[in-house]
Amino acid sequence: MITYAISATVILFCIVYYWLKTKYSYWHKKNVVGPTPTPVVGTFGPVFLRKKTATQLITEIYNRYPNEKYFGIYQGTSPALVLRDIELIKQVMIKDFVQFQDRGFKISDSEADQNLFSVEGDTWRVLRHRLTPIFTTGKLKTMIPLVLRSVDKFLEYTDEIVEKNLDHEIRSLASKYTLDVIGSCAFGVDVDAFSQKKNVYRDVADKVLQIGFKTRFFQIFNAFFPGIVKKLGISLTDYELFGFFMDLVHKIIKEREGKPKIRKDFMDFMIELKEEGRVIRKGDTGVAGLEMNDIIITAQAMVFYVAGFETSSATMSFLIHEICQHQDIQERIYEEVNNVIKKHGGLSYEAISDMRYLEMVFDETLRKYPVVGVLRRKCGYEYTFSDTKLSLEKNTSILIPSAAIHHDPKYYPDPEKFDPERFSPENKSKIPSCAYLPFGDGPRNCIGMRFAKVQSMIGLAAFLNKFKVEASSKTKKTLEIDPTALTLTSKDGIWVNIKRRH
Ligand code: HEM
């Protein structure tokens, strides 16, 4: 009996060993360099163990291969190609986009997971086409009065808290503002973000940013056994959270009696699409289309909520962290903001467009602190990079190391230096295409880019016109990054002293 058990264990061990050896020779066989994988976890051990973010890990490896155009890694047992060369990145994101349209995030077919960020194929094309009009300049302009209401609350609240205390954690303050904006612009609800009382919208906002155990487990499981989660029909959605958004969407649709109102916010667009029933791209024939039911609407609402407030508040707080240490930059922003407000008689879309220096500082902030530091694409068909002759199989994962590129001295000399002049009109035009990717690039870039810029810049302009930030005893010159966070986050928060200017 014992002999049988030992033999079975040895055979099993040999099978697993052979299987892993075959899996991990994938890049070697294609003559692609890369770090030696650790059995089972591949290259991603520190990420699975939450010791490093994927961005930190990929950046480290990027710096080890300065002369390569790409390198190969393994997420668990799944191979992924990381592109270093910006010409190849351009091919993937822009020139040959049709072959690389999807991110490869879709690991379940559940309707609740059909959000714009993770959907694939025709469904993405249809959805993107129909959601794009929400973010036109005209539409953004109509949202400015809503944003300005949140700005007033933001300033009033800051005025109160500086009375009591000087030292403040700026990220949580900025996220109150962006949460208020997104609640109002996307759903037409007052999320009461500045209230001292316990608040369900804030709780939900905190919860959506934590990757739940279930999601983490199945993401890792999917890295080892690609496709099985999908075949088993498992959804990665947190149903308690989804239920909250579903109730909110039902409430809004009921309040508006199933018809879009003149508010023309995100929910109005959704209701319009629901009225149309099946959503297809105009001019498309034979496209699968998409039934706009309440689940699909809720899935979009949720992704807009998550993407809408956290990324912008992070950027605002990193900017404040930098100008706290560069008072000359802060004073130049103040002068510009003050003059532009006087010229335009207040804050408006046009006024913000006139704040060129603030925009340079904003762009440099996202260069130094790209909130999303690794972008993803999936190879849709067999593909060969023309100049390198490397051929990719269908479904190969492609990673674009945007944070590493933003810190590569080849594109940005002295990359740790915070220098807004890199984005002056004459210098900006010299930055090569695909060397600056805070919002991604190509047809699948960030749909909310302009909204993000407008809400952040209005909030910052109003704040810096009234308050001044200085280093406090808690301010850290170099921020330590939280290895467990989904987007770029400082482990100990971002602390500054806030003082009234007048
Ligand atoms: C500073 C703020 C923001 C940053 C840095 C940011 C960054 C990004 C990045 C890097 C991507 C992936 C792009 C790619 O793969 O090429 C993305 C996608 C996306 N973002 Fe943003 N984002 C921000 C704000 C927003 C806002 C305000 C919204 C919505 C209100 C939004 C909604 C989305 C959506 C829906 C996608 C997926 C688009 C698609 O797949 O078609 N983002 N964002």
Q: What is the CATH number of the domain that holds 249?
A: 1.10.630.10
Residue 17 lies in a domain: no
Ligand 1 pocket test, pick from 446, 449, 451 with the greatest ligand atom count within 8 Å of Cβ, gives 446
In angstroms, the Cα distances linking 198 to 162, 192, 194, 203 are: 21, 10, 10, 8
SS3 330: helix
| pLDDT score recorded for residue 237 | 63
Q: Does the residue 388 lie in any domain?
A: yes
399 inside domain: yes
Tell me, in angstroms, the distance from the centre of ligand 1 to residue 297's CA: 18
- Longest CA span, the chain: 90
DSSP state of 71: E
Q: How far is CA 221 from CA 231, 247, 374, 377, 475, in A?
A: 13, 31, 20, 20, 39
Q: Is 70 left (phi over 0), alpha (psi -120 to 50) or beta?
A: beta
Atom of ligand 1 nearest to the CA of 124: 41
What does the alpha-carbon distance between residue 55 and residue 89 come to, in Å, rounded to a whole number? 17
- Looking at residue 241, what is its pLDDT? 77
Q: Give me the amino acid identity at 465.
A: N
Looking from the CA of residue 375, the nearest atom of ligand 1 is 15
Q: Is 446 annotated to bind ligand? A: yes
pLDDT of res. 282: 47
Domain residue limits at 490: 31-500
pLDDT given for residue 220 in this prediction = 61
User: Residues 273-283, buried b or exposed e (16+ Cβ, 10 A)?
Assistant: bbeeeebbbee
In one letter, which amino acid is 8?
A: A
CA distances to 92, 97, 102, 226, 394 from 383, rounded to whole Å, are 10, 12, 14, 20, 8
Classify residue 25: in a domain, yes or no.
no
Q: Specify the number of domains making up the chain.
A: 1
Query: Do 432 and 410 contact (CB within 8 A), yes or no?
Result: no
Secondary structure E strands in 352-477? 375-378, 383-384, 391-392, 397-400, 467-470
| Phi, psi (rounded to 5 degrees) for 359 | -65, -40
pLDDT of the residue at 35: 96
Torsion of CA 154, 484, 486, 243, to 10 degrees: -80
Q: Which atom of ligand 1 lies at the shortest distance from residue 456's CA?
A: 1
- How many A from CA of 439 to the centre of ligand 1? 6
DSSP 286: S
Distance 225 CA to ligand 1 centre (A): 28
Q: CA 273, CA 291: separation in Å to the nearest integer?
A: 9
- How many angstroms separate the alpha carbon of residue 445 from the centre of ligand 1? 7
> Is 381 contained in some domain?
yes
At residue 182, what is the residue type? I
**Residue 15 is assigned to a structural domain of this protein:** no
Is residue 374 included in any domain, yes or no? yes
- Quote the pLDDT of residue 107: 64
Of the candidates 220, 207, 213, 275, the residue with the CA atom closest to the CA atom of residue 76 = 220
Residue 370 lies in a domain: yes
- Which among 95, 96, 98, 68 is positioned nearest to 83, based on CA atoms? 68
Tokens of 452: 């993000």
pLDDT at 363: 98
The pair phi, psi for residue 430, each rounded to 5°, is -90, -10
Mean pLDDT by 10 residues, the chain (502 residues): 81 79 90 93 89 95 97 93 97 96 79 84 88 86 90 95 87 92 84 76 68 60 62 64 83 80 75 70 51 82 83 96 97 97 95 97 98 95 88 95 98 97 96 97 96 96 96 89 88 92 82
What residues line ligand 1, using a CB cutoff of 6 Å? Answer: 116-117, 128, 303-304, 307-308, 311-312, 315, 371-372, 375, 438-441, 444-448, 451-452
